[in-house]
Chain A
Amino acid sequence: MLSPENPLKNQAAPIGAADQDIDQSLKSLVDILLDIDADQTAKSSATARKVSPESWPPELMVLPPPPQPSVFSAKPLTLEPPQVHIKPPGQPPSSSTAKPPQQSEFLRQAQNDIRFVLGRLDEKVTRLERKIDQPTELINPLLPLITELLTLKHTESNHSLLQALVPLIDQVIQLRAQQDQAKMGAAIGDILPAAIAHQIQHSPAAIAKAIAPEIALSIQEQAQLDPEAIAQSLGPQMGEAIKNQILVEREAMVDALYPVIGNTISKYMVEVVKSINDKVEASLSPEGILRKVRARIRGVSEAELILQESVGFKVQAILLIHKASGLVMRDLQPASSFQIEADMLAGMLTAIRSFVSECMTQPDTDSELHQIEYNASKIVLEVAGYCYLAVIIKGEPSPAFIEKIRTTLGQIVLKSGKAIAYYDGDPGNIPASVDLCLDRLLAAEPKPAPAAKFPVGIAVLLGLILIPLGFFSYRSYVAHKVELKTADALDGVPELSVYRIVPKVEGSKLTLTGRLPNDALRQQAAVVAAQVAPNWPVANQILTVDVPADPTRIAGEVERVAWIFNQKPGVAIAAQHQFNSNSVDVTGIVADFQDSQQLTQALKKIPGLAKVTSTVQIRPVLESQIYFDLNSAQVEASNLARLRSIRQFLDQNPSVALKIIGHSDPTGEQSRNQQLSRERARNVQQVLITEGISPTRLQVQVSDQLPPSITPQQPLRLSRSVRFEVFIPVQKRE
């Protein structure tokens, strides 16, 4: 079809005045038709209406030349799309002077045709005017025409069509709606969503304005009908919405939520503070003092401990996880708590562990993930062998509990390490002992402070201490009685009473310890003990020992031997018993070597004497004698050397004394002889005294016998002599 930009309008002028006439009349025709169409009841004549060309839509200004008359005659009331012969816009419009004869011929022809048509139209219009009183009669024949017109006009003039239809449409809809509401609904329903969508797209503000007042109401309505549906459709967006709102208007959100969250927090804090308060008040209780000690030992503040005790902790889950694959071998969760997706958690934890050990490790070191914290909870990880334990704890776990986790894992790895290493995904292959360990760990979690609860633990502990203590006290009481009775009985036996024997109960036996000089006494002691305590087997541990000899007795024995030897001629000995070393030192003089030997042997035979030290001398020089002239007591100078040697001997043996025995020959008067003998001895004594020997060591004796080795047959001068005998003075011996 032609567009308004088409230059036909400009071409209208050269067609000539006749063309304009036709144009005018056609316009009037259309106008009439429209008027009839628009207002069925109005009788106003279309021709009477003056329509200014300016108000016409541009489409009508370029209406094409009239159709062929034949068309109209064939279908008088049908307007065929007009055939237009138009020159291309590029070509200059052909003037009438260019082809005058053909052009004027054509125009004439056209004018005739139009006149003919107009005549008929006039006729019809007159007829129609007459029929205006019967609208239905008028409209019925017009309907096909109107349809055609509408089709044509729609393409040509939206505006005029709209203008024509507008006043009708609401009535049509209203009428139709009254006739058949359902059908009308169905007809409009199909286009409504598209219409609304279109409208929303093009003028959202308007549609919002239209719908807004009803939204609240409709949500309310829907919420009443199906509360779930609203929740379901709004739910997923709520999180985002709140997040967005927090981003946009944080303060407002805080204000909005504070009444709820603030109360929750303050309620919790009130409880914690109350608990802290109680603990501080009880700081002088045994528990409080214990806590002070613990705080000191662990080097943390007491307040920290109090807080830890107040907040407490709770095990939410214990997972035993295969280290390499992250598969869950055991999953313990208290029935009361929220059930955690163990498999997924274990997998993710394993992945995080891998990540840490892969990406966080510095060269030459191992990185290990120990703990993951979230909110008030934490996941404690403890790794050993081919597995690890993940313990999810709410609150602050005590170091003792952490230690318990470690020891539990240690036990598990120790007992079931192999089954864990070859874990193939079947939990049934893990030994039941693991469950036992984990159950114990789960049970080890502390119960919230039992304030006025009977201290079962302490009672058990006391019981554990006191019961064995009582048992042992009773046993030792019985044992003590048996020991006393046995000791008394042993004391009652005279031969045993001098010895110290200790009866002692050891285990279930009566043990005798001590020392006795012989086996007979040892046996006797055992018999006595068995009689006193017949229910107790006797362990005889008495030793038989050599009794150390009595020192006094030894001393006496030594003295006796010495005395016996001193009776021998030429023997002068002193035996000194040393109490400390139980030994004897023998000094003095013996007659010969044999005497010396005999003396030593005799002393050694004394029982109990440990050692004999002999320094006895076999008398050397005392054989010598001093000889005198007849009837003289004068010591000759030739004897002085001999006397000096005697003096030397006495010097060397200070404990020895000397008997100086004077002799005379048997001739002459006896009294004179005795006097001579005495004088001779005294003179020798005097010489020795002058030599420096103490007179007390020199004893003078007179003998009326011949000297021991002299016989009467020997010369007389051998009898006129002084001889010496060595003796040990009595005082020295003591």
Chain B
Amino acid sequence: MSVISKKICMVGDFGVGKTSLVRRFLDRQFSDHYLSTIGVKISRKLIPVPTDQDLQLIIWDIEGKTQFQSITPHYLEGAMGAVIVADLNRPETIEHIQSHIQLLTSVNSSTIPCLVALNKVDTITKSGQERSVIAELEVHPQVVTVCQTSAKTGQCVDQMFESLAQRLLEHHHARTSERS
């Protein structure tokens, strides 16, 4: 049986931990050293589906948005899902989530499932300030779920990617049945 491949993108401001989340998910590793991603880094992960075709995630870890450089829209083309990452300790990165979703839907289908990862929950110093923003995100039509993750401890990382995979499969089957 063949494997279904889906491209997903990691999007977010610089230094929020996109690469670390991918590394935790793929290699079960974490490093404190910050290495800025240049351009894009591509990895893949096979998610076995016992009852159906296996799902292969092609993960595009895209360089973070900085003050001076926006995300290259070409890299987002053809994505069937996205993980939008923000740093719980940097409120401005949470505020930018909306604009990242907007960019994604402008390049791709407007129904692209997005998953919000509020990262670095292990180092959280002040909490409660982003409650309103998070509540707003949870009712956003594109947002599947909002997770508070930690690439360092692994909290919620696997569940997050798995729930996105689950959503991608549902999407795929819905489309296939539509066409047939």
Contact = CB atoms under 8 A, between A and B. Distances in A.
Contact of B2 (A324, A343, A428): A428
| Majority-rule SS of B interface residues | mixed
B78 A427 contact: no
Contacts of B44: 343-344, 347
Contacts of B72: 354-355, 358
A424 B2 CA distance: 13
Interface of A: 322-328, 343-344, 347-348, 351, 354-355, 357-358, 424-428
Given A344-B44, A351-B40, A358 B7 contact: no
The 6 closest A-B pairs by CB, nearest first: A325-B78, A324-B78, A354-B74, A347-B42, A324-B77, A325-B7
Nearest to B171: A424
B81 to A, nearest CB: 11
B6 A354 contact: no
A343 B175 CA distance: 23
Given A343-B56, A344-B44, A427 B75 contact: no
B134 interface: no
Interface in B1-52: 2-7, 39-40, 42-44
18 contacts: A324-B78, A326-B7, A326-B78, A327-B78, A328-B5, A343-B58, A344-B42, A344-B43, A344-B44, A351-B75, A424-B4, A424-B176, A425-B172, A426-B2, A426-B53, A427-B2, A427-B3, A428-B2
B117 interface: no
A385 to B, nearest CB: 14
* Residue of A326, A355, A427, A428 with most partner-chain B CB within 10 A: A326
Contacts of A426: 2, 4, 53, 172, 176
Interface of B: 2-7, 39-40, 42-44, 53, 56, 58, 60, 72, 74-75, 77-80, 172, 175-176
Nearest to B46: A343
A348 B39 CA distance: 10
Contacts of B74: 354-355, 357-358
A326 B74 CA distance: 11
Contacts of B43: 344
Contacts of A324: 77-78
A344 B57 CA distance: 11
A301 B169 CA distance: 57
Given A327-B58, A343-B44, A355-B72, 18 more contacts: A325-B78, A327-B5, A343-B5, A344-B43, A344-B44, A347-B58, A351-B40, A351-B42, A354-B72, A354-B74, A354-B75, A354-B77, A358-B72, A424-B175, A426-B53, A427-B2, A427-B3, A427-B5
A358 B77 CA distance: 13
Contacts of B53: 426
Nearest to B43: A344
Nearest to B74: A354
Contact of B80 (A325, A348, A428): A325
Nearest to A347: B42
B77 A351 contact: no
B17 to A, nearest CB: 21
